A and B are shown apart, each in its own frame.
Chain A
Amino acid sequence: MSMLKVENLTKKFGKFTALDQINIELEKGEVFGFIGPNGAGKTTTIRSILGILKATEGQISVFGQDAWKDAVEIHKRVAFVPGDVSLWPNLTGGEVIDLFVKLRGSSSESKREKLIKSFDLDPKKKCRAYSKGNRQKVALVAALACEADLYILDEPTSGLDPLMETVFQSSIKELKAAGKTIFLSSHILSEVEKLCDRVAIIREGKIIETGSLKELRHLMRNQVVIETTKPVTDAKGLMGIYDYSEDNLVYSFQMDPQQLSTIANHFDKFNIVNFESVPPTLEDLFMHHYKNGGGIEND
C-alpha cells in the first residue's frame, strides 16, 4: 500500500487553476523531493494533502484513507512543518512545541530536549522575539519530536543558516534510516539532491517531471573537460557534443551521456592526459525546465 497517493488532483480558485492534474505516489520508506519555483503550487498541493483545501477534482489518499474526510485520523500519523511559520506572539517557543506535540497525541520528552539542543533553540523566549529561522526551528522541533509515519515538510530550511541545515539533514537521514516516509518540498535544490530518492518538479501547477535523480540525470548532459597532448581534429562534428570550445589542447563541451564511448574513443586517439566529467546538478536540471517553459529540450 502506498503511503500517499495523489491522483489527478486539480485545484481551482475561482477561474485560476492552481493545480492541474497532479499525480504523486509515495511508497513506504521513501524520501520524496517536491521542487519548483515560488508560486508553482507546492504549498497548495500540501494543503490539499492535509485536507485544509478541498480538491476541485481528483483523489488524495494518505495511508489509504481519504485526505479530506479522514483528516483527523490521518493527522495522528503525520508530522507537518508549514512553509511560512507564523506563531502566537504571546506564547514561548517551548509552549508552542508542547502544544503541537500534544495535539498530535504522542510525545517523547527526551527527543524534544535533544532536538531543542541540537537546533540550538531557546524555548523560553516569546515567539514575538523569534526571527524567521527560530520560528522555523520551533516548527521543526515540534514535527521531529513526534513519532509519525509520514513527514510533510514545506520548505523546512528556508530560514535556517548552513549549520542548522546540516542538523536538519542529519535528522532527515535518521528518519530515513528508521524507514519513515518523507515528503519534502523545497526550492533549495542541493538539499533535495542530498536527501531525496525521487523527485517531482512542479511548475505553474503542473508536474513536468517525475523520477529518480538517476533517471532525470539521463536527460541532462555532463559538462566535460578533456586535455590531450596532440591537437584533436573533427571533434566538433561528433554526435552528442554541444557548446564546444577549445583552448590550447584543452577541450570543453557538454556531452550526451549516451554517446560517451564514441566520444571517449575519438579523443583517446590524441592521447588524453586529463578527463573531467561533472554530472548535472539539480540546479542545471531545474534551470533547464524553468527556462524552457516545461518539458525537456530536445535538440
Chain B
Amino acid sequence: MIKLAGTKVISKFILRRDRISILIWIGSFALLTAYVALMFPTLYPTDIKVKEIVETLSNPAMIAMLGPYYGATDYVNYGAVYAAEMLILVALTVATMNILLVTRHTRNDEEEGRLEVIRSLPVGKTTVLFSTLSVYVIVNTLIGLFVGVVLILTGDTSFGWNGSLLYGAGLTVTGIYFAAVTGLFAQLNQTSRGTSGYAFGFLGIMYLLRAIGDINSETLSLISPLGLITRTKPYVSNSWWPILIVLIEAIIIAYIAIRLNVIRDLNASFIPVKPGRKSASKLLVSPLGLAFRNQKSAIIAWAIGVMVLGISYGSVLGDIETFISGNEMYEKMLSVIGGTASFLERFMVMLSAVIAMVGAIPVIQMIIKLRYEEKHNHIEHLLGRAVSRRQLIMNYVTLAVIISIIMSLSGTLGLYMAGAQVTESPLVFGDMMIASFAYLPAIWVFVALTVMLLGFIPSAIKLIWLYLGFTFVSVYLGGILGLPDWVVKLTPFGYVQKIPVESYNVVSSIVLVIISVVLIYVGNAKYRTRDLAG
C-alpha cells in the first residue's frame, strides 16, 4: 500500500532546503533564454546569414549534436532556428538539474541516514519520494512557463505564443521525465553516486539514441524523450502530441519507482551491491598507480569533454569563411592572429589555443590533487611508509604531463573528425597535432607554477586558476577587448607559435621546457623541506 502521510510538510521542507538552488536554476534558464533570443537578430542580421546557418544546421554533424531543423529554408524563421539550436542543449541542462536535485532528496538522504530520522516521524513510507517528485513537477512546470513567456516577450514576430509555450513544455516534460527516472534509479541503487551515475548514463544513452536516430532512423529518435520533444517542431507545425507521450512515460516510470519504494526496506536496493576487490591489482600498489586510480574517472571524463569540444568546433568549420566575414565580433577576435591567412587557418589557431587552455584544467587539477591529499591526511599513509616526497611529487608531475598529451590528442582528434566531414579544404591531421602539441610546453609551465605554489604557498595553490583565467582572457578575448600586444606576453601561451599561420619554432618550446624544469626543481626542493599537514 502506498502511504503518503505528511506529504505537505515534507514537500514544504524540500522546497525550503532547495529554495536557493531552485531560484538560481529558474532565473538562469529565464535569463539565458532572454539573452539568446534578444541576441538572435544581431547574430544573423541578414537573410543570407540565416540561410547559411540553416545549411550548417542541416549537415549531419550538427543534426547529430542538436537534432534536426524543421523550419523553412527559403525565408527567415528565427523561432525555428532558435528551437533547433537551443532546445536539446537546454533540455540536457534541465535533465541534469533534475538528476542532481532528485538524487539529493532520495538516495543521498537515505545513504547519509537522514531519511531514517524522517521515517521515525509520523510520515508515510513513500512520502519522501512522492513529495520530491511532486515538488519537481512544479519546479519543471515553472521553468517551462517562464521560458515560454520570456520567449514570447523577447523574441521577434516569428516567436508565436503557441510555439513558445510548446518549447517551454518540451523542457518541462523532459525535466519531469528525468526526475522520475532518477527516482527509479534511487530505488535500484544503494548509493547516491550509483543513482546519479546510472541516471546520467541513461541520459547519455537517450541523447545517443536520438543522435543516431535523427540521422538514420526516425523510430530510434521516438524512443528517446529528447527525440520526442524535437518532434514538437516549435514555431513550425507546433505539435503537442509528443509532450503528452513523454508525460505519460514519465508517469509510468514514477509509478514503478513508487511501487518499488513501497516493497523495499530502508537502505536496501534492487541492484545488488557488488563486492569490491578483495586484494589490490599490481597496477594499484605504487604511489603512481594510486594517484592514477584516484583521478582515472576525472581523466576519462575530461578527455571525452575535450573531444566533444573539438567535435563541436569542428562541425562549424565548413561554413567558417562566410560565418566570420561580416561578423564584427569574430573578425575582431581573430584580428590578433593577423597575417593574410584565410579565416579557416586563423580560426584553427584559435581552436588549438582553446583546446590547450581547456585541456590544461585537468592537468593542473592533478597537481592540486596532491594538496587535497595532504589536507585529507592521505599523505601520511604514504610518507609514513617507504615513499619519499620527491617520488610522490614526480609521480604527480609525470601523470600531469601524460594527461596534457591525452587532452591534446583527444581534442584535436575531435576537431579533425568533425572538421574533415564538413570542410572542402582538406585538413591534415599531422599539422593539426603539431599546432596542438606546440602548446604542451606552455601547459607544462602551468604545471611547474602549480608545483611552486605547492612548495611555497600551498594554502594559495588555487591562485593558479586566476592565472589560467587571465591567460584565457588575453588569448581568446584579447582581440575583442582591444588589449595591447604585451598583455598576452605575460602568459606562456603568448610565446607559442600560431600554427598554421606561423611556422613551428623549436627554440621557444625548448625555453618553455627549461623554465618548467627549473621551476619544478625549485618547487620540489621547497616541498621536500616544508611541514606537511598530514
**A positions within 8 Å CB-CB of B:** 13, 47, 50-54, 71-73, 75-76, 78, 80, 82, 84, 86-88, 90-92, 94-100, 102-105, 123-126, 139, 152
Contact = CB atoms under 8 A, between A and B. Distances in A.
A54 B389 CA distance: 13
B276 A86 contact: no
Given A78-B385, A80-B385, A124-B278, 15 more contacts: A47-B380, A51-B383, A72-B387, A76-B386, A78-B384, A82-B381, A84-B377, A91-B284, A95-B280, A98-B280, A100-B385, A102-B280, A102-B286, A103-B386, A125-B276
Given A50-B383, A78-B384, A102-B286, A126 B276 contact: yes
B294 interface: yes
A13 to B, nearest CB: 8
A102 B285 contact: yes
B294 A90 contact: yes
B252 interface: no
Main secondary structure of the interface of A (DSSP, over half): mixed
Contacts of B19: none
Q: Count chain A CB atoms within 10 A of each CB in B281, B294, B377, B384 and give the residue with the most.
A: B384
Contacts of B290: 88, 99
17 contacts: A47-B534, A52-B379, A53-B531, A71-B383, A75-B384, A78-B384, A86-B377, A90-B294, A92-B276, A94-B278, A94-B280, A95-B280, A103-B382, A103-B385, A103-B386, A104-B385, A105-B386
What are the 5 closest A-B residue pairs judged by CB atoms, nearest first?
A98-B280, A92-B276, A124-B275, A102-B285, A80-B384
Contacts of A90: 293-294
B73 to A, nearest CB: 51
Q: Count chain A CB atoms within 10 A of each CB in B275, B294, B529 and give the residue with the most.
A: B275
A88 B384 contact: no
Contacts of A94: 276-280
B390 to A, nearest CB: 9
Contacts of B380: 47, 50, 52, 80, 82
Contacts of B138: none
Nearest to A47: B380
B532 A103 contact: no
Contacts of A100: 381, 385
Interface in B384-436: 384-388
A204 B290 CA distance: 37
Given A82-B384, A104-B385, A99 B280 contact: yes
Nearest to A123: B278
B378 interface: yes
B385 A75 contact: yes
A47 B380 CA distance: 8
Nearest to A78: B384
Given A82-B381, A82-B384, A104-B386, A95 B277 contact: yes
B284 A52 contact: no
B376 interface: yes
Nearest to A72: B388
A81 to B, nearest CB: 9
A13 B279 CA distance: 40
Interface in B489-532: 529-532
B60 interface: no
Interface string B170-183: 00000000000000
A86 B377 CA distance: 6
A88 B294 CA distance: 8
B384 A52 contact: yes
B383 A98 contact: no
A92 B278 contact: yes
Given A72-B388, A124-B277, A99 B284 contact: yes
B287 interface: yes
A184 B376 CA distance: 23
B293 A53 contact: no
Contact of B279 (A76, A78, A98, A152): A98
Given A54-B531, A125-B275, A126-B276, A95 B284 contact: yes
Interface in B255-306: 275-281, 284-287, 290, 293-294
Contacts of A51: 383
B458 to A, nearest CB: 14
